[in-house]
């Protein structure tokens, strides 16, 4: 695919401060988020901005109805604002101010915990995993020589669940903690589960060296990273998994796409075999330009590519506003461009479809210029396929060029 066209518009601005209700002192590090035309509430994405040291935030949004809310939990010593969300309608070019005022509240007392083994003795250097609902995500602490750990006020600003493990010992289920007092976490034998599986290409051949990511799901929020690679037989094993949590496994490899297992539930001590993760060939390319409404190139715009079976990629537009993604699976992908001062813009072109151009929706917009072509099979996406024997390649109706590597470089 070549020359993907889309446009970023200036839109409207929602700005304001997050402050203490009684003193007006700024509160930094909290996230203010907005759902709207660019990020509907039915979608997985949300537009957010973290408050600066002076408590200010600024969100640039397209015109239309917006749902604005404080998405971070209040810091220690504060309660949620009396009005933590607001619906408003903004017009293109308009600036609207919305402040959030946080009330004072009682401070949360630390929690002192201990991890004990099956014999009732303290377990030193045990891993204690802290997960929470909403902002805050998860983090890990380690017990000291006496098997003890402490959860501080910041960690307890939300309801958390504790899991622990050490060697082949683990908690069979999470322990809910809300703040104050003491908590004892007990480890048991034969609790931890494992996931194993195989990564192949479409021909069923093993893929060695594929990167395997483990995503742990708690409170319907997932967190994870690359944890291992497949061996020469294309196999992997993920061990030491808590049985009351859900997990998913994803794989990606050079020259191939991305595949996810979906969320998996485990039983205590279970060794689950995951169905093979089949990675499709990723031999397509996506390229284009980012320009403003006058056709002048925008250098440094962030361009993101996502697909169902294509590994996510991010690039910055280079000289003349150009960007290019290689290693794309033959599927419909999502391309998003963003640049400070402009509204995000996304398109979802399928590989092999006709080239399309997007018109400018408003003044002061940004446009990746040109058209796009699929070179995975060496012809423009606007043509039906390679020519019959003895006939010339058809020219692209947009650029009038031939689908050759030399022409590709000239786009």
Q: Domain ranges in the chain?
A: 12-102, 111-189, 193-278, 284-410
328, β-bridge pairs: 284
CATH ID of 284-410, from 3.10.450.50, 3.40.50.300, 3.40.50.720, 2.60.40.10 = 2.60.40.10
- Phi and psi at residue 406, in whole multiples of 5°? -70, -40
Mean pLDDT (whole number) for 381-385: 33
Residue 92: per-residue pLDDT: 86
**Contact indicator for 49, 68 with CB cutoff of 8 Å:** no
61 CB-side CA count, 13 A: 30
Same topology between domain 193-278 and domain 284-410 = yes
Q: Where are the beta strands (DSSP E) in 45-179?
A: 47-50, 56-61, 64-70, 85-90, 95-97, 100-102, 111-116, 127-132, 138-142, 148-151, 160-166, 169-170, 175-177
**Topology adopted by domain 111-189:** Immunoglobulin-like (2.60.40)
Long-range Cβ contact pairs of 78-81 (< 8 A, separation 24 or more): 78/20, 78/27, 78/102, 78/103, 78/104, 78/105, 79/103, 79/104, 79/105, 81/21
For 316-362, the pLDDT digits (tens) are 988 888 888 889 999 888 888 888 766 667 777 655 333 222 322 23
pLDDT value at 409 more than 50: no
What single DSSP character describes residue 117? Answer: -
Mean pLDDT calculated for residue range 81-96? 89
- Across the chain, mean pLDDT equals 79
The pTM for the full model equals 0.62
pLDDT digits (tens, 9 = 90+) for 130-184: 987 655 567 899 999 999 999 987 777 667 899 999 999 999 999 988 777 899 9
DSSP element (H, E) containing 366? strand 366-367
Q: 145: alpha, beta or left, given left = phi > 0 and alpha = psi -120 to 50?
A: alpha
Determine the Cα–Cα distance for residues 98 and 87; give it in Å rounded to an integer: 11
Burial of 354: CB neighbours in 10 Å, binned 0-12, 13-18, 19+: middle
* C-alpha to C-alpha distance for 375 and 284, rounded to whole angstroms: 6
What is residue 159's predicted lDDT score, i.e. its pLDDT?
Answer: 73
Question: In this predicted structure, what is the pLDDT of residue 136?
Answer: 54
Instruction: List pLDDT tens digits, range 360-376.
Output: 223 333 333 333 333 22
What confidence category does residue 5 fall into, taking pLDDT thresholds of 50, 70 and 90? low
Dist. CA 288–CA 358, nearest whole Å: 13
**Which CATH homologous superfamily contains domain 12-102?**
Immunoglobulins (2.60.40.10)
Sequence-separated (6 or more) residues with CB below 8 Å from residue 189? 118, 168, 169
Write down the pLDDT at residue 293: 73
Question: SS3 for 320?
Answer: helix
pLDDT tier for residue 190 given thresholds of 50, 70 and 90: very high
Query: Hey, what's the torsion of the CAs at 155, 161, 167, 168, to 10 degrees?
Result: 180
Q: Identify which has the larger pLDDT, 63 or 183.
A: 183
369 or 279, which is more confident: 279
Structure tokens that stand for 136 in this block: 């805050």
399 Cβ neighbours under 8 A, 6+ residues apart: 3, 370, 371, 373, 407, 411
Give the pLDDT confidence score for residue 350 in this predicted structure: 58
Position 2 scores a pLDDT of 56
Largest CA distance in the chain: 84
d(CA 317, CA 4) in angstroms, rounded, equals 13
Predicted pLDDT at 376? 29
| Residue 289 to residue 219: CA distance in whole angstroms | 40
Burial of 385 (0-12, 13-18, 19+ CB in 10 A): exposed
Of 195 and 406, the structure prediction assigns the larger pLDDT to 195
* Token duo for residue 401: 């060029």
Residue 188 is predicted with a pLDDT of 96
**Lowest-confidence segment of 40-49, 220-229, 284-293 by average pLDDT:** 40-49
Q: What is the pLDDT of residue 90?
A: 92
More confident residue, 168 or 38: 168
HSE at residue 102, side-chain half, CA atoms within 13 A, is 24
**What is the pLDDT confidence band of residue 231, given thresholds at 50, 70 and 90?**
very high
Q: What architecture does CATH give domain 193-278? A: Sandwich (2.60)
Residue 204 has pLDDT above 80, yes or no: yes
Q: Answer with the residue of higher pLDDT: 178 or 267.
A: 267
pLDDT at residue 55 tops 50: yes
Q: What is the pLDDT of residue 142?
A: 96
Instruction: Give the phi and the psi of residue 142 in degrees, each rounded to 5.
Output: -125, 140
Tell me the pairing of strands 111-116 and 148-151.
antiparallel
Given this model, what pLDDT does residue 391 score? 43
> How many whole angstroms separate alpha carbon 365 and alpha carbon 369?
12
Top-ranked range on mean pLDDT: pick from 68-77, 86-95, 173-182: 86-95
């Amino acid at each position: 695919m070549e020359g993907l066209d889309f446009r970023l518009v200036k839109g409207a601005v929602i700005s304001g401060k997050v402050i203490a209700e009684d003193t007006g002192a700024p509160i930094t590090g909290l996230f203010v988020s907005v759902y709207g035309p660019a990020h509907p509430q039915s979608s997985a994405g949300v537009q957010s901005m973290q408050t600066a040291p002076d408590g200010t935030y600024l969100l640039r949004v397209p015109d239309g109805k917006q749902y604005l809310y404080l998405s971070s939990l209040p810091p220690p010593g504060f309660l949620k604002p009396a009005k933590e969300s607001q619906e408003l309608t903004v017009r293109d070019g308009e600036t609207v101010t919305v402040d959030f005022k946080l009330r004072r509240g009682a401070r949360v007392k630390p929690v002192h915990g201990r991890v004990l083994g099956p014999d009732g003795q303290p377990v030193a250097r045990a891993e204690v995993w802290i997960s929470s609902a909403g902002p805050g995500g998860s983090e890990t602490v380690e017990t000291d020589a006496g098997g003890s750990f402490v959860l501080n006020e910041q960690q307890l600003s939300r309801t958390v669940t504790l899991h622990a493990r050490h060697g082949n010992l683990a908690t069979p289920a999470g322990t809910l903690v809300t703040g104050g007092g003491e908590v004892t976490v007990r480890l048991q034998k034969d609790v931890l589960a494992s996931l194993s599986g195989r990564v192949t290409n479409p021909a069923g051949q093993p893929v060695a060296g594929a990167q395997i990511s483990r995503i742990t799901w708690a409170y319907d929020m997932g967190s994870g990273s690359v944890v291992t690679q497949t061996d020469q037989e294309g196999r992997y094993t993920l061990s030491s998994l808590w049985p009351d949590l859900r997990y998913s496994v994803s794989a990606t490899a050079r020259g191939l796409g991305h595949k996810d297992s979906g969320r998996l539930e485990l039983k205590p001590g279970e060794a689950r075999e995951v169905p093979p993760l089949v990675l499709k060939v990723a031999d397509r390319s996506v390229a284009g330009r980012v320009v403003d409404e006058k056709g002048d190139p925008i250098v440094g715009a962030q361009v993101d590519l996502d697909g169902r079976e294509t590994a996510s990629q991010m690039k910055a537009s280079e000289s003349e506003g150009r960007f290019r993604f290689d290693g794309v699976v033959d599927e419909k992908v999502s391309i998003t461009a963003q640049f400070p001062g402009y509204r995000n813009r996304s398109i979802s072109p399928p590989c092999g479809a006709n080239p399309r151009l997007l018109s400018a929706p408003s003044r002061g917009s940004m446009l990746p210029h040109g058209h796009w072509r699929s070179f995975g099979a060496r012809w423009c996406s606007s043509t039906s396929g390679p020519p019959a024997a003895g006939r010339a390649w058809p020219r692209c109706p947009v650029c009038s060029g031939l689908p050759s590597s030399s022409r590709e470089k000239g786009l």
